[in-house]
């Protein structure tokens, strides 16, 4: 009996010690922790002279692109050598040059990760594609990581906004880890986040919001979009553009299979999803924002699908415009093929003046 108790005590002590050391590891691995809300640095590159500054038009182009850390379509890729990584990023840069958007919202961007040879992907793409201004928002930073593509080592990634017009303000938030995630797996899966930039479009202030919402929980996405609404969607006098990887199926899509859920980890309960009644996208639509694709998507609208890139079957990437901003035309850039697992989504957007500005312009025209 005494031997049994002693054995039990030893096992309990070992388990407690291992658990304690694991918590110490988690603390050390992400220390110092990322702030939940911050003002990331704005980088000025001065890559090219922006001839668009001389234009009187207030129509500009916005693109949103989840670049999948530059690894391409495959999610189980083995270690990629640096030369191959540079070639993959060169391909993405060429895609951005071909699209020639004024603003690019990027998701899944590496900055200081061993798997991508510590290439600052946002700066690399901004320089290669000809963007003068850049703001990065890191959502995951760790000293050791083994889950991403079989590469053991340092990791840092998140989102970025590239702009051909001055970025005057930058803000970012990191969402909390999803409640459904077991504590011992949190270091293997990154929290998602959002960033807001204010650009100066020939004297007009434009709010840009770049989102990457939780992929594995409908409830988390709905909570995250409510947080965005509360923080950044109250200023109805400033034209506002919202884009990114929402991981949400279009509200009126003819099918809602959730193909991206095929990669969900073991602890995700897919049966708990109610994609038909998800409120993530409707929350934005109810504020008066318009989307760059038809609201009713069927198989004939395949040209608006963004995922997976080799054979798009659903739409989880979006661009919305509202609060004195109006989408004129939206489409998917299909020639990106397998540079990522997503296709880029693009929208031409017009900025409307307020009534006072319109009245003053009318007076000026009469005075000529």
Per residue in 217-267, pLDDT (tens digit) is 888 899 999 999 999 999 999 999 999 999 988 776 655 556 666 667 767
Flag whether 24 is in a domain: no
Residue 211 has pLDDT above 50, yes or no: yes
Q: What is the pLDDT of residues 176-186, one digit of tens each?
A: 887 777 777 77
Classify residue 176: in a domain, yes or no: yes
pLDDT of 1 higher than 90: no
| CA nearest neighbour of 331 among 350, 318, 321, 314 | 318
Region of 141 (left: φ > 0; alpha: ψ -120 to 50; beta: rest) is beta
pLDDT of residue 297: 52
More confident residue, 216 or 207: 207
Q: Is residue 239 part of a domain?
A: yes
* Number of structural domains in the chain: 1
Examine residue 22 and state whether it is found in any structural domain, yes or no: no
One DSSP character per residue, 205-235 reads EEEEEEEE--SS-HHHHHHHHHHHHHHHS--
Does any domain span residue 17? no
CA distance readout (Å), 105 to 119, 136, 161 = 19, 10, 5
Residue 121's CATH number:
3.60.10.10
For residue range 189-205, list pLDDT tens digits in order: 788 999 999 999 888 99
pLDDT value at residue 362: 38
- 306-342 residue pLDDT tens: 888 888 888 899 999 999 999 998 999 988 888 999 9
Write out the DSSP string of 88-157.
HHHHHHHHHHHHT-SEEEEEEEESS-GGGTT--HHHHHHHHHT-SEEEEEEEEEEEEE-SSTT--EEEEE
**Is residue 248 included in any domain, yes or no?**
yes
Decide if pLDDT at 359 tops 70.
no
How far apart are the C-alpha atoms of 33 and 27, rounded to whole Å? 8
Q: Flag whether 90 is in a domain.
A: yes
Flag whether pLDDT at 21 surpasses 90.
no
Range of the domain at 109: 32-367
First to last CA, the chain: 104
Q: Residue 357 above 50 pLDDT?
A: no
Q: Is 174 among the domain residues?
A: yes
Give the global pTM: 0.88
What pLDDT, on the 0 to 100 scale, is given for residue 200?
92
Give Cα separations from 285 to 207, 241, 311 (angstroms).
Answer: 17, 13, 28
Reply yes or no on whether the pLDDT at 154 is more than 50.
yes
């Amino acid at each position: 009996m005494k031997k049994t108790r002693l054995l039990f005590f030893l096992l309990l002590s070992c388990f407690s010690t291992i658990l304690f050391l694991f918590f110490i590891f988690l603390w050390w691995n992400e220390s110092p922790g990322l702030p939940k809300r911050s003002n990331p640095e704005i980088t000025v590159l001065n890559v090219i002279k922006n001839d668009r500054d001389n234009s009187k038009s207030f129509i500009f182009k916005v693109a949103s692109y989840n670049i999948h850390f530059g690894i391409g379509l495959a999610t189980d890729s083995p270690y990629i050598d640096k030369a191959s990584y540079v070639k993959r990023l060169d391909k993405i840069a060429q895609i951005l040059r071909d699209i020639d958007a004024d603003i690019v919202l990027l998701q899944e961007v590496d900055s200081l990760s061993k798997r991508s040879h510590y290439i600052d992907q946002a700066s690399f793409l901004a320089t290669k594609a000809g963007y003068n201004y850049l703001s990065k928002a890191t959502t995951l930073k760790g000293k050791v990581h083994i889950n991403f593509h079989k590469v053991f080592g340092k990791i840092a990634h998140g989102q970025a906004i590239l702009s051909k017009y001055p970025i005057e303000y930058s803000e970012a938030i990191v969402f909390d880890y999803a409640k459904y995630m077991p504590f011992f797996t949190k270091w293997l899966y990154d929290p998602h986040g959002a960033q807001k930039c204010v650009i100066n479009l020939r004297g007009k202030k434009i709010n840009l919001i770049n989102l990457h919402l939780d992929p594995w929980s409908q409830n988390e996405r709905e909570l995250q979009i409510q947080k965005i609404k509360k923080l950044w969607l109250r200023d109805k006098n400033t034209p506002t553009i919202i884009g990114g990887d929402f991981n949400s199926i279009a509200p009126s899509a003819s099918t809602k299979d959730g193909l991206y859920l095929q990669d969900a980890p073991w602890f995700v309960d897919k049966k708990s999803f109610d994609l038909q009644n998800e409120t993530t996208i409707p929350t934005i639509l109810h504020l008066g924002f318009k989307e760059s694709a038809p609201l009713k998507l069927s198989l004939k609208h395949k040209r608006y699908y963004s995922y997976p890139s080799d054979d798009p079957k659903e739409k989880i990437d979006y661009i919305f415009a509202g609060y004195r901003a109006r989408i004129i035309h939206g489409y998917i850039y299909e020639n990106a093929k397998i540079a990522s697992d997503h296709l880029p989504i693009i929208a031409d957007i017009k900025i409307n003046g307020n009534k006072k500005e319109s009245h003053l312009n009318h007076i000026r025209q009469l005075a000529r």
